[in-house]
Amino acid sequence: MRARAWWLVATVGIAGCGGLPEDTAPEPEEEELGTLRQAEATGPVAWVRFGRSEGEELGSAVAQDRDGNVLTTVVFSGGTDLGTGPLGSGDPEVPGLVLAKHSPGGRLLWTRVFQGRAGGLLAVDALGTDRERNVLFAGWSEAGADLRAGELAPPVTLEGAFIGKLDRDGRLLWVKTLAGDAAFLANGVVTDRAGNVFVSGSVYEGSLDLGGRVLTATGLRAFVAKYGADGTLKWLYAAGESTQAGGVALDEVGDAYFCGTAPDEGGTGTRTRLWRLDSASGAVVWTNGLDDGDCTGVAVHGNRVVMTGSFLESFTFGGRTYRASETPGVMDSDAFVVAYTLAGEERWARNFARVGTGVAMDQDDGVLVTGHYESGNRVGGAVLPGVPGSIDNLFVMKLDRIDGAPRWVRGLPSTAALALDVSVSREGEGVLVGAFGGPTDFGGGSVSPAGNYDAFILRLGE
């Protein structure tokens, strides 16, 4: 999963994880490292779907359930079409959002529409599923929104920040509104074996009551909250002021791994932070991080917790220094992926391309990383072609979780695209969602948006 910066909501003009595996045993604390090899310059595309209109759309969040069904949210202004007909009010001044469920093969199973108010913002930026294939969501409406969870169901009014749960057929089980005047930027929803719900995000400029605990921020402030299966708050962990959340993931015992971005000690840049939080109490077990960079995603499997993002200068990891640019006096951005053991020990690091936007891990020791690159950048040892002059080409890369060795990489050349969330199934099939505002090659030739920005849902094979 990953973070979406607050600027993205304003730029576009509208406002990622599943549960734990059922039968996987804890792995040994130490595994042998392999030999670094070059990735294959490929990566299978199973299918791609679009949200289209003359306005603006973006795919904001994605999750996959245990059957491989794909849950996504598409934010739009006025209306959108996922391929089966128009959705939304059609009024370009009215924001809307559709939560859609596709089968593993790409067939649209159902949609649920959130209808906002004219002039307001609306976002659902985090999705998750549990063992019963229920769907969890978290978001925020600036001026209020209505959710109709089924053709015969009456609309439910959502005010401000909200967290909710639908069953596998899209029927509303419960929704929780968080009282307060702060904006809420969600970026992670995961569930444990007991159905508890962990929500990560940032509170912005004000206060929110997260269920008996009020969190106040003068700017951005990152947090993780644990709720029971019925939506009752169990604990809250809040980072300091001027922090932004980058996602949450759970290990086999249910401890939470939470990453974020904080100001550096000099106050001129940013550094990443990674916390392990005790499942029962929310207490900090350990904390770690990098001296430079922004965290956009975290994932856990076996004895590895991995974090991705981007950095501008350099960081030291495992006794080695990694630099975004080897040219003196030149400041550039690089993506990073770093891996720790569950005890917080440093294991491996990689840097490449330009920006890392998300990460997910499967049950076959795969680490799926997404981000942006410039044409000719080397990603996983492979030189990727792209649109010359564009910094918005997209990449998807699969690494090995034990030693970070690359398995394959695929470039998606684009003049203007955003990779916003990524999910992976137990078997390793990934899904990437985002938006594209210019010609983009998703694997079958260049595709142009119908409006300013169209949403995309890209399903990858293994």
Name residue 113's amino acid.
V
Nearest to 135 by CA among 50, 201, 70: 70
Residue 380's Cα: distance from chain center in Å?
21
- Convert the pLDDT of each residue in 78-136 to its tens digit: 999 999 999 998 888 899 999 999 999 999 999 999 999 998 999 999 999 999 999 99
Establish if 4 belongs to a structural domain: no
Establish if 13 belongs to a structural domain: no
Establish if 19 belongs to a structural domain: no
Task: Look at residue 234 in the predicted model and tell me its pLDDT.
Answer: 97
- Report the alpha-carbon distance of residue 289 to residue 293 in Å, rounded: 9
% residues pLDDT > 90 (the chain):
79
Task: Look at residue 42 in the predicted model and tell me its pLDDT.
Answer: 57
Name residue 146's amino acid.
D
Name residue 157's amino acid.
T
Q: Which domain holds residue 133?
A: 38-460
Instruction: List beta partners, residue 322.
Output: 315
The mean pLDDT of 20-24, rounded to a whole number, is: 36
Query: Worst-scoring range by mean pLDDT, 10-24, 230-244, 407-421?
Result: 10-24
Establish if 29 belongs to a structural domain: no
Name residue 287's amino acid.
T
The mean pLDDT of 408-436, rounded to a whole number, is: 95
Higher pLDDT, 24 or 175: 175
The answer to whether the CB of 395 falls within 8 A of the CB of 370 is yes
The mean pLDDT of 423-451, rounded to a whole number, is: 94
Q: How many CB atoms lie within 10 A of CB 391?
A: 16
Average pLDDT value for the chain: 89
Q: Order across the sheet with 183-191: list the strands.
A: 183-191, 197-209, 214-227, 233-241
Task: Look at residue 224 in the predicted model and tell me its pLDDT.
Answer: 98
The mean pLDDT of 132-143, rounded to a whole number, is: 95
- Report the alpha-carbon distance of residue 431 to residue 47 in Å, rounded: 10
CA dihedral defined by 377, 383, 386, 391, rounded to 10 degrees?
-10
Name residue 413's amino acid.
P
- Report the alpha-carbon distance of residue 90 to residue 80 in Å, rounded: 8
Task: Look at residue 329 in the predicted model and tell me its pLDDT.
Answer: 62
pLDDT band at residue 43 using 50, 70 and 90 as cut-offs: low
SS3 track for the chain: CCCCCHHHHHHHCCCCCCCCCCCCCCCCCCCCCCCCCCCECCCCEEEEEEEECCCEEEEEEEEECCCCCEEEEEEEECCEECCCCEECCCCCCCEEEEEEEECCCCCEEEEEEEEECCCCCEEEEEEEECCCCCEEEEEEEEEEEEEECCCCCCCEEEEEEEEEEECCCCCEEEEEEECECCEEEEEEEEECCCCCEEEEEEEEEEEEECCCCEEEEEEEEEEEEEECCCCCEEEEEEEEECCEEEEEEECCCCCEEEEEEEECCCCCCEEEEEEEECCCCCCEEEEECCCCCEEEEEEEECCEEEEEEEECCEEEECCEEEECCCCCCCCCCEEEEEEECCCCCEEEEEEECCEEEEEEECCCCEEEEEEEECCCCEECCEECCCCCCCCCEEEEEEEECCCCCEEEEEEECECCEEEEEEEECCCCCEEEEEEECCCEECCCCEECCCCCEEEEEEEECC
Q: What does each C-alpha distance from 335 to 7, 322, 325, 356 come to in angstroms?
A: 19, 11, 11, 5
- CATH number, domain of 77, equals 2.120.10.30
- Convert the pLDDT of each residue in 240-293 to its tens digit: 999 999 999 999 999 999 999 999 877 678 999 999 999 999 999 999 999 999
pLDDT at 35 over 80: no
Establish if 27 belongs to a structural domain: no
Collect all residues with Cβ–Cβ distance below 8 Å to 280 and sequence separation of at least 6: none
pLDDT at 304 over 60: yes
- Convert the pLDDT of each residue in 402-418 to its tens digit: 999 999 999 999 999 99
Phi-psi label, residue 451: left if phi above 0, alpha if psi -120 to 50, beta otherwise? beta
pLDDT at 22 over 50: no
At which residue do the structure tokens 């708050």 appear? 233
Structure tokens at 195: 């159905």
pLDDT at 32 over 60: no
- Report the alpha-carbon distance of residue 223 to residue 244 in Å, rounded: 8
Q: Are β-strands 430-436 and 417-424 bridged in parallel, bridged antiparallel, or unpaired?
A: antiparallel
Task: Look at residue 235 in the predicted model and tell me its pLDDT.
Answer: 98
- Give the total number of structural domains in the chain: 1
Establish if 12 belongs to a structural domain: no
pLDDT at 167 over 80: yes
Please give the span between the terminal C-alpha atoms of the chain, in angstroms, as a whole number.
19
Name residue 121's amino acid.
L
